[in-house]
Amino acid sequence: MTAQVTLTHALEVEDLRVNTLAGSPVLKGVSYSIAPGEVLALVGESGSGKTTAGLAALGHFRRGLAPAGGTVTANPRDGQSVEVLGLAERRRRALRGHTLSYVPQDPALSLNPALRIGLQIAEVLEAHGYGASDDERSARVAEVLGEVGLPADEDYQRRYPHQLSGGQQQRVGIAMAFACRPSVVVLDEPTTGLDVTTQTLVLRTVSELTTEHGVAALYITHDLAVVAAIADRVAVMRGGEIVESGTVEEVLRRPSHSYTRELVDAVPDLDGGGELPTPDADAATLRVTDLSVSFGEHRVLSDVSLTVHSGECLLLLGESGSGKTTLSRCVAGLNDDHSGSVELDGTALAASTRRRSADQLRAVQYVFQSPYSSLNPRRTIAQSVEVPLEMLTDLDRAQRRERVGQTLDKVRLSRELAQRLPDQLSGGERQRAAIARALVTTPKVLLCDEVTSALDVSVQATIIDLLCELRAELGTAMVFVTHNIALARHVADRIAVLRGGEIVETGPVDDVLSDPRHEYTRQLLANTPRM
């Protein structure tokens, strides 16, 4: 009788070094190991090297990068140890999806929009020789869909990705990663952009699968509250190095490195928050009355009414699909197919931007969720910020340039960056540029649509502080659209909770968070990760 061998580690990384092709170091000797069934969270700000380290565990390096030393050893349950970096590319590709799997941040990019989801999972199984027949592979497709909490029936398997919600798409991506029962899974920010309820489902799915099947998980994230909910151990990266590692309790409760303490201090807390500016209750800047929107037979918004005063911030909270962005776009004039009214200082605004005056367009500005897609990649930052002034004001070129410089100063974006293209800036710098473009016309109303959802915690804190300072200085009314209720006390005066296109609860932040009246609000609070 052969004795059963228990693996100490499913993945071992020793002194991993990665350089640019020009020789500049990106990873500077990263080492860590993960046991079967264990979740190691790799955390750090954008640019810290955590995604590079995660992809290197799969033997993959983005264009312009190359391994410069170290080892990555996978210890599969059903075979001999493999040093991944020493393999030929063909052998490495064979490992991915079978022994080593990957779950990307954006499920929409990882799924083929032209293929039904059942077929996509089956293709993974077939590509790696899983199962002896089509029937066996079909049974595994149904089984793994059930494992991630999705329907396994034929009708569901015949759906296309666009027929699923974001959370369902992400769980299909997780099903594909776990389909061949890998030893190691790398998850790269898999809950970024998901609402707290969907995030809870995805985290629970990952936790159950890693535990039940003994899979080692490397969980890459900037959200330390998520780390507290899912991880066993944490490794903190900064500048291509691990500066601190240990159990969740050790690192998050008793951080020893100053950088870790900065990250922990920057995490938004449901129970904390700074002093906010006092709004002018006598200036009713924005009023929405009985706003309704339908797409075909689907009712998106139902008789929504709200008021936002000068200098006040209203947090518009709800899950994906609740109607938050649709409402914001209606206020901005970007969605004109609605009933009801939008008024600014007592004057009705036309439903479409095409029928609003230049003064009205200057007065209501929109900051989009993704600065990557909202800034023209072919324009410099200065050119992008100047566009609203060219279109909506009579300022001459010299005056416009001076206003652009003043606005960049307001958002604390160095004028040296003004001549750079968006891809030459960090995510946080791009978001500041997008805010500058919205502020350059000195608007009365600023609509912020999930503007911090993809930012790491320290950059998120900086953007929140910036917005609070700007509305105090300029008296701007703000509608802050988010699914992250933990931001409430840090940015808002009042909360309006949207569910299924209806406002189910509204009131001052402290009242809603301390004594929520609606069951849906209580569910959102219960599902919000806490440190």
User: Is residue 291 domain-shared with residue 350, that is, in the same domain?
Assistant: yes
Q: How far is the C-alpha of 9 from the C-alpha of 2, rounded, in Å?
A: 21
User: Is residue 372 domain-shared with residue 457, that is, in the same domain?
Assistant: yes
Is the predicted pLDDT of residue 282 greater than 60, yes or no? no
User: Is residue 337 domain-shared with residue 229, that is, in the same domain?
Assistant: no
User: Is residue 318 domain-shared with residue 238, that is, in the same domain?
Assistant: no
Q: Which pair of structure tokens corresponds to residue 455?
A: 């930012």
Total domains in the chain come to 2
Domain presence at residue 498: yes
Domain that holds residue 223: 11-110+183-266
Q: How far is the C-alpha of 349 from the C-alpha of 405, rounded, in Å?
A: 30
User: Is residue 215 domain-shared with residue 294, that is, in the same domain?
Assistant: no
Looking at residue 224, its amino acid is L
Provide the whole-model pTM. Answer: 0.78
317 close to 496: Cβ distance less than 8 angstroms: yes
Cα 258 to chain center, whole Å? 25
304 three-class SS: strand
User: Is residue 354 domain-shared with residue 475, that is, in the same domain?
Assistant: yes
Identify the residue with better confidence: 460 or 396.
Answer: 396
Q: How far is the C-alpha of 257 from the C-alpha of 245, rounded, in Å?
A: 10
User: Is residue 29 domain-shared with residue 82, that is, in the same domain?
Assistant: yes
Mean pLDDT, the chain, rounded, equals: 89
Which of residues 233, 266, 299 is at a domain's end? 266
CATH number at residue 234: 3.40.50.300
pLDDT in tens, 400-450: 999 999 999 888 888 888 999 988 887 778 888 999 999 999 999 999 998
User: Is residue 196 domain-shared with residue 332, that is, in the same domain?
Assistant: no
Poorest-pLDDT segment among 33-47, 318-332, 335-349, 365-379: 365-379
Q: Which pair of structure tokens corresponds to residue 230?
A: 């899912």
User: Is residue 340 domain-shared with residue 459, that is, in the same domain?
Assistant: yes
Q: How far is the C-alpha of 9 from the C-alpha of 511, rounded, in Å?
A: 48
The arithmetic mean of pLDDT across residues 454-464, rounded, is 81
User: Is residue 324 domain-shared with residue 187, that is, in the same domain?
Assistant: no
The arithmetic mean of pLDDT across residues 31-54, rounded, is 92
The arithmetic mean of pLDDT across residues 360-384, rounded, is 89
Domain presence at residue 489: yes
User: Is residue 205 domain-shared with residue 344, that is, in the same domain?
Assistant: no
The arithmetic mean of pLDDT across residues 365-381, rounded, is 87
Which of residues 234, 266, 298 is at a domain's end? 266
424 phi and psi angles, rounded to 5 deg: -95, 5
What is the per-residue pLDDT for 416? Answer: 86
pLDDT in tens, 88-124: 989 998 888 889 999 987 766 679 999 999 999 999 9
Q: How far is the C-alpha of 390 from the C-alpha of 207, rounded, in Å?
A: 52
Question: Which residues have CB under 8 Å from 34's CB, separation 6+?
Answer: 9, 10, 11, 40, 184, 216, 217, 218
Q: How far is the C-alpha of 177 from the C-alpha of 495, rounded, in Å?
A: 38
What is the per-residue pLDDT for 469? Answer: 86
Domain presence at residue 3: no
**Pairing verdict, β 184-188 and 216-221:** parallel
Domain presence at residue 424: no
What is the per-residue pLDDT for 276? Answer: 63
User: Is residue 259 domain-shared with residue 295, that is, in the same domain?
Assistant: no
Looking at residue 152, its amino acid is A
Which of residues 217, 232, 266 is at a domain's end? 266
Domain presence at residue 423: no
Domain presence at residue 211: yes
Q: How far is the C-alpha of 94 from the C-alpha of 182, rounded, in Å?
A: 12
Q: Which pair of structure tokens corresponds to residue 241?
A: 């190095």
